Amino acid sequence: MTRQDEWNERYAASLMNTFGPPKAVLARGMGAHVWDVDGREYVDLFGGIAVNALGHAHPALVQAVTAQLQTLGHVSNFFATSPQVELAERLLALLGTPGKVFLSNSGTEANEAALKLTRRTGRTHVVAAEGSFHGRTMGALSLTSKEAYRRPFEPLPGDVTFVPYGDSEALAAAVTDRTAAVILEPIQGEAGVLLPPAGYLADARRITSAAGALLWLDEVQTGIGRTGRWFAHHSVPELLDSPPDLVTLAKGLGGGLPIGATLATGAAADLLEPGNHGTTFGGNPVACAAALAVLQTIVHEGLLDHVEFTGKRLADAVASAPGVTEVRAVGLMIGADLDADLGPAVVDAGRDAGYLLNSTGPHTLRFVPPLVLTDDDVDVFADAWPGILRAAGEATR
């Protein structure tokens, strides 16, 4: 029995079966590489589902967290700390518009806070997109379209209408004078990296403004450099002139530490008042120090430009192999469709070859590696990729 087998037995005996058996038991990491408990090395093209922005054990992140723990680890929100205030100021500066920030612990909590905020408009109706993923808690789940996630927990709270993603006419038809908000991902991640058609997000801004509704962009996966910009919606000129009312963040913001953020602009920034919402751990100084280190490192290491360049090289490598029918990519957020339902088999074959991959559907893969993925990492994967696809095909025959 390997050490992985031993740990898997202990896992099964002690943890709730919400994720199924773990594919590997990981022990340590460095950059875009990880090692399991048996010492096997993998190139991490999964990135903790787009969380490990700086990869693993980045010195700047380690130093920031260590230094903060040596001063203050936790104080609750009865008190403020400098990392909390500095992070809120920095996020608003990056957003490029005045507003206010609520700090929490995860993407689903950032979306829960935003959902509660929309109720303060006096309206209850929310429009969301088919193919969306916004979280697993009951409020965020009510905005998530996947039936398999929703059905076991219905009835869910809220009055939610789902419309096809990218269909401006359907969106306009669904938004009425009782609509509190429209929530959209600038790029759908769980659905396999689906990009909206040109003009769609600008149409969403126009439609919500005309109806007096809030435009809420879920940038939990797309934000903090993932697409080569601080925010994916910054690629839409109309949203620079007329920004969204709400933007939610998490994942890459903490570089591996749990943190979420709800950014509100304009009148939406003052909708939540004392007593309306709260969190014990949100805005924790350690998590905020980690987030500040992530933001500073992205600047100091020129990672936005790196993401654009490296993302194109990785997307080209993925697209070049036989059996790949389509690649959708913005920065280091890449979706690939296969000509057969080999997604899970490719993940297994990739792991056997020393790569951590992710399948979001029977024939769809998602690549969201650390932003520090190197050219050498891409080159080595490009050489291995055709063999991984062949092995997956042979395993399913």
Q: Which residues are catalytic?
A: 133, 218, 251
| Best CA proximity match to 366, nearest among 329, 393, 317 | 329
| Helices 375-395 and 343-353: angle between axes, nearest 10 degrees | 120
The Cα–Cα gap between 143 and 60 comes to 36
Take residue 298 and report the two structure tokens written for it.
């992205």
**CA-derived radius of gyration, the chain:** 21
- CA–CA distance, 283 with 248 (Å, rounded to integer): 15
With residue 300 as reference, give the H or E element that holds it: helix 285-300
d(CA 331, CA 296): 19
Q: What is the DSSP letter of 177?
A: T
Distance CA 12, CA 42 (A): 23
**33 in Cβ contact with 43 (< 8 Å):** yes
- SS (HEC) of 181-241: EEEECCCECCCCCECCCCCHHHHHHHHHHHHCCEEEEECCCCCCCCCCCCCHHHHCHHHHH
CA-nearest of 34, 58, 86, 49 to 297 is 58
